[in-house]
Amino acid sequence: MSDGNEKIQDAAPGSHPNRRDVLKALASVPVLGVFFAGWYQKKLKEDARRQAIMEELGITEGAPAFIRDAISRPPGDRIRVGIIGYGGEGESLVRSAGFAHPDWIESERKAAEENPRNRALRTFMEQDDLNIELTAVCDVFDVRAERAQAAAVNQVGPTAEKASGRAAVRYFRYTDMLESGDVDAVLIATPDHWHAQMCIDAAAAGKHIYVEKALTREEEETHRLYEAVKASGVVFQLGHQQRQTESHIKAREVVQAGILGPITLVETTTNRNDPWGAWVWDIHEKGSPETIDWEQFQGPAPNRYPFSLERFFRWRCWFDYGTGLSGDLFSHEYDAVNQILDLGIPRTAVASGGIYFFKDGRDVPDVFQAVMEYPDRDLTLVYSATLANGRSRGRVFMGHDATMEVDNGLRISADASSTRYEGKIGEGLIDPSMPMFSFQPGFEGLDAITSATAEYFVSRGLLYTYRGGRLTNTYHLHIAEWLDVIRNGGDTSCNLERGFEEAMTCHMATRSYQLGRQVSWDPVARRIV
Amino acid sequence: MNGASQKAPGTSPDYGLFQLGALVSLRMLIGWHFLYEGVAKITNPYWTSAGYLRESQGWFSQYFLDLANSPGALTAVDHLNQWGLLLIGVALLVGTFERTAAVAGIVLLALYYLAAPPFPGMEYTIPAEGSYLIVNKLLIELAALLVVLGFPTAHRIGLDRLLVWKKHHAGNAALAPASGEAAS
């Protein structure tokens, strides 16, 4: 545009630019100076504010530190694992341990092609090789047992190089698996009513145990399980995989640093609003009395029924096999709070609710509220749930000085009437209407979520977390921790004591709902009364 | 108003005082905006374009999503953005490499616009700070840069004035023409 032909009106023909030229050439440079002066002022102010808050809080913004045990590689250290119960949850566990069914690989490959935000397959392929072999499977439904066997020999996955390709043996009874000498450790992912007996038998056989939550279906069997596992010395992990979620570990740091002040109320919630989220799970087309060992399924259930596809595939809807919201979802919420606050078992519990939406023959409530009192801690824990509304209500820790909301990240806001932050609020350094501290691991707005219920799982830290900035499956980390303890000693994060607390707290809520009155925990007799 | 006389083809327009002032203001304000966007991103250790790219919809969304999903490409995109914004901003503000800066700015703004166009039927989870139908502030800033490109001012108010003077002087002295943006 400007070229050599242009007449520079102001330019003098001398050998140096005249003063006017220089002035006009440099006219905008002072603006640059103003810019950087302004920016520097702004930065100083923001840095001072940030530093004041961080000094006040005494906590870093970084991810919590992990000292991850190295996974033992020698073949002698390979652990032979058996899976008992290969339904939806069992399949997730086995996949998180490194063995995916070929159909899953194929469907996730297609899903990732259609939507590049879907990283399920990539996350699976990037999992650590846990140096285990899936040697034995047990399921009362033929289709699922065969699926588990196919997963065990699938060469595609993080364990591909290690897999011997040897077929996993199917056992029709888990006791035969325990006695076979084929397994060192078992993953138990059956309906809840089987957990206690299976754990007791596995402990007696000296097999390490990873059992899905809820730990048990009722109080009595919990005591027997506790004694048996404790006496055996096997490594025990309860499947509350959100113990591995970075934000929960960070939340514990926050509470221990006293940032929230005295916490008097913790509110936890479940909101889901689709049939799947209310346990109206698919009934498999091949399910029949010929393919399902119905008698074995019923096992220790308190009532016997004729063969029922609904009861088999949608067992969470009945107290015969589980405890509904209490054991399925309150258990996760409670364990998350227990992880952060070390609450233990409440003094009293009162619960209420009803079957208000899914009137499909179930006997567990679909709307359920429980209030647990901890007078020794000057704290109430509230759980509130509905399966017929999807509004996200979060998990909130309410302290005198600040409020902390914990999901896959965490946010802390100072309380406007806080004693501790009064000065800094007055100075304008802390604005109570804005989070003064937030921790959001990994990227924002991540990854494709396929359904409302899946979104619920993700927001609760139940599916994925981050390690070193990398998206990681929490099941995988929870199983890896269990295997590390088996090999190297130490303690699992959701050990027998935590499991006992989870079971008793959930059973107090269930009992209160069923009896329609408040129940208490007798800490001496260790009984619900 | 000061009238402007369009000179012969191949020469720069000769602006009146008001026009020159308005055009220089436009150039410098856009420069300031680019510069601060760059500086703010460079000084924020947590900034990444990933969130924006992942939101992408429209004709080229596949391309932007691929960028967001490739850690190597994402790092490159982040650096190009941060330093590109800063350099474009400085150039427009002080008035040098004006044409290159304007073209680069137009390209960047076009990419931002196309990554998440405010077309009817497209919903974004990252909220916009205003209400837009097809035209948003990105598109307006892009058009403003077209004006900067079409009506250059750096040779009048800006560092390029010195280059132009030098070239003019060198031409007068029958020496080889100086190279550079302003003399192209």
Summarize pLDDT for B132-172 with one digit per residue, the tens: 888 989 999 999 999 999 999 999 999 988 887 777 777 66
Residues of chain A with C-beta less than 8 angstroms from the C-beta of B159: 25-26
End-to-end, the C-alpha distance of chain A in Å comes to 90
Max intra-chain CA distance, chain A: 109
What is the structure's pLDDT at A5? 42
Residue among A21, A39, A116 whose CB faces B165 most closely: A21
Q: How far is A15 from chain B (nearest CA, A)?
A: 7
Instruction: Tell me whether residues A2 and B160 touch, CB distance under 8 A.
Output: yes
Query: Exposure string (b/e) for B49-62, b if CB count within 10 Å is 16 or more?
Result: bbebbbbbbeeebe
Closest chain B CA to residue A11 = B165
Going from the C-alpha of A294 to that of each of A142, A149, A169, A188, the distances in angstroms are: 12, 21, 21, 18
Residue among B65, B69, B157 whose CB faces A24 most closely: B157
Q: Do B170 and B177 form a contact (C-beta atoms < 8 A)?
A: yes
Rg (CA), chain A: 28
Closest chain B CA to residue A29 = B94
The residue among A363, A388, A526, A383 whose CA lies nearest residue A452 is A388
Cβ neighbours around A515 below 10 Å, total? 10
> Taking 70 as the threshold, does the pLDDT of residue B18 lie above it?
yes
Instruction: Tell me whether residues B95 and A21 touch, CB distance under 8 A.
Output: no
Residues 83-122, chain B: which have Cβ within 8 Å of A?
90, 93-95, 99
Taking an 8 Å Cβ-Cβ cutoff, which residues of chain A contact chain B? 1-6, 8, 11, 13, 15, 17, 21-22, 24-29, 31-32, 35, 39, 43, 116-117, 119, 443-446
Residue among B51, B69, B152 whose CB faces A1 most closely: B152
Q: How far is A6 from chain B (nearest CA, A)?
A: 6
A340/A399 Cα distance (integer angstroms): 14
Closest chain B CA to residue A40 = B39
Question: Which pLDDT band holds residue B14 (cuts at 50, 70, 90)?
Answer: confident
Residues of chain A with C-beta less than 8 angstroms from the C-beta of B93: 28, 31-32, 35
End-to-end, the C-alpha distance of chain B in Å comes to 31
What is the structure's pLDDT at B93? 95
Edge-to-edge order in the sheet of strand A396-399: A437-439, A410-414, A402-406, A396-399, A263-271, A379-386, A367-374, A348-354, A519-522, A527-528
Instruction: Tell me whether residues B158 and A25 touch, CB distance under 8 A.
Output: yes
Helix, strand, coil share of chain B (percent; to 5): 60, 0, 35
Residues of chain A with C-beta less than 8 angstroms from the C-beta of B154: 2
Helix (H, G, I), strand (E, B) or coil at A368: strand
Q: Do B159 and B96 form a contact (C-beta atoms < 8 A)?
A: yes
Residues of chain A with C-beta less than 8 angstroms from the C-beta of B123: none
What is the structure's pLDDT at B171? 65
Residues of chain B with C-beta less than 8 angstroms from the C-beta of A13: 169, 172
The residue among A146, A137, A202, A203 whose CA lies nearest residue A168 is A137
Going from the C-alpha of A238 to that of each of A139, A496, B150, the distances in angstroms are: 20, 7, 69
In chain A, where are the structural domains located?
Answer: 75-241, 243-466+502-528
Residues of chain B with C-beta less than 8 angstroms from the C-beta of A33: none
What is the structure's pLDDT at A44? 87
Closest chain B CA to residue A114 = B62
A212/B118 Cα distance (integer angstroms): 46
Residues of chain B with C-beta less than 8 angstroms from the C-beta of A31: 28, 32, 93
A82/A139 Cα distance (integer angstroms): 11
Going from the C-alpha of A166 to that of each of A130, A151, A163, A208, the distances in angstroms are: 17, 11, 8, 22
What is the structure's pLDDT at A25? 87
A505/A244 Cα distance (integer angstroms): 21
What is the structure's pLDDT at B133? 87
Helix (H, G, I), strand (E, B) or coil at B107: helix
> Taking 50 as the threshold, does the pLDDT of residue B177 lie above it?
no
Residue among B94, B172, B184 whose CB faces A28 most closely: B94
Instruction: Tell me whether residues A116 and B66 touch, CB distance under 8 A.
Output: yes
Please report which helix (H) or strand (E) contains residue A335, including its range. helix A331-341
A119/A125 Cα distance (integer angstroms): 10
The residue among A477, A489, A500 whose CA lies nearest residue A234 is A489
Query: What pairs with residue A171 in β-bridges?
Result: A138
List, for chain A, all residue ranges whose pLDDT scores fall below the cut of 50: 1-13, 67-72, 443-451
What is the structure's pLDDT at A24? 87
What is the structure's pLDDT at B57? 83
Say if A75-241 and A243-466+502-528 have the same CATH topology. no
B66 touches chain A (CB under 8 A): yes
Going from the C-alpha of A90 to that of each of A96, A206, A271, the distances in angstroms are: 10, 21, 24
Residues 129-148, chain B: which have Cβ within 8 Å of A?
none
What is the structure's pLDDT at B117? 86
Q: How far is A116 from chain B (nearest CA, A)?
A: 7
Helix (H, G, I), strand (E, B) or coil at B153: coil
Please report which helix (H) or strand (E) contains residue B21, including its range. helix B17-43
Q: Which fold has domain A243-466+502-528?
A: Dihydrodipicolinate Reductase; domain 2 (3.30.360)
> Taking 80 as the threshold, does the pLDDT of residue B180 lie above it?
no
> A53: which 2 tokens?
């808050």
ipTM, two decimals, is 0.79
Q: Which fold has domain A75-241?
A: Rossmann fold (3.40.50)
Closest chain B CA to residue A28 = B94
Question: Which pLDDT band holds residue B41 (cuts at 50, 70, 90)?
Answer: confident
Q: Find all residues with CB under 8 Å of A9, minimum gap 6, and list them.
A: none
Q: Do A509 and A351 form a contact (C-beta atoms < 8 A)?
A: yes
